[in-house]
């Protein structure tokens, strides 16, 4: 179990630029989640994949956000035309397929918009 890996750990970019984050889940986990955490708050759900299918999206996920999991393994989260309000920690988690299985989190990607 090598854990959930996220890259990069930090990303600083100018407003209006596009950014892409990568998440590598634990290898046998077929479920993958993206959350966003702002300062002083708990994580908020963004989207969820089962294998390569994106099954649920939060209303927080505006049309500037897109997530993919092309082969049911790693996932990418892209933010287009970044805004100041996008500054946050973006967390990825993965789990086995049963509802009672806990989610395992990566260390996150901290995005700072200048």
Partner 1 sequence: AQSVTQLDSQVPVFEEAPVELRCNYSSSVSVYLFWYVQYPNQGLQLLLKYLSGSTLVESINGFEAEFNKSQTSFHLRKPSVHISDTAEYFCAVRVLSGSARQLTFGSGTQLTVLP
**Which structure tokens are listed for 27?**
């290898």
Q: Which is nearer to partner 1, 79 or 93 (CB)?
A: 93
Residues with Cβ < 8 Å from 9, sequence gap 6 or more?
107, 108, 109, 110
The edge-to-edge listing of strands for the beta sheet with 19-24 is 5-7, 19-24, 75-79, 65-68
Q: Which is nearer to partner 1, 80 or 110 (CB)?
A: 110
- Backbone φ, ψ for residue 101 (5° rounding): -85, 135
List binders of partner 1 among 10-29 (CB under 8 A): none
Q: Which is nearer to partner 1, 49 or 113 (CB)?
A: 49
| Contact stretch for partner 1 (CB under 8 A) within 11-19, 61-69, 71-79, 93-101 | 93-101
Per CB under 8 A, does 40 bind partner 1?
Answer: yes
The SS3 of residue 84 is helix
Q: Which is nearer to partner 1, 55 or 114 (CB)?
A: 55
User: Which of 36, 35, 32 lies closest to 52 in space, CA to CA?
Assistant: 32
Per CB under 8 A, does 106 bind partner 1?
Answer: yes
**Residues near partner 1, by CB under 8 A:** 4, 6, 31, 33, 35, 40-45, 48, 50, 55-56, 58, 91, 93, 99-100, 102-108, 110
């Amino acid at each position: 179990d090598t854990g959930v890996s996220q890259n990069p750990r930090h990303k600083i970019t100018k407003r209006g630029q596009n950014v892409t984050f990568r998440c590598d889940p634990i290898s046998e986990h077929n479920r993958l989640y993206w959350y966003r955490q702002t300062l002083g708050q708990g994580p908020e759900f963004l989207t969820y994949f089962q294998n390569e299918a994106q099954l649920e999206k939060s209303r927080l996920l505006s049309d500037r956000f897109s997530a993919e999991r092309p082969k049911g393994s790693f996932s990418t989260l892209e933010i287009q035309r970044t805004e100041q309000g996008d500054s946050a920690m973006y967390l990825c988690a993965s789990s086995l397929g049963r509802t009672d299985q806990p989610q395992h989190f990566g260390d996150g990607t901290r995005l700072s918009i200048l």
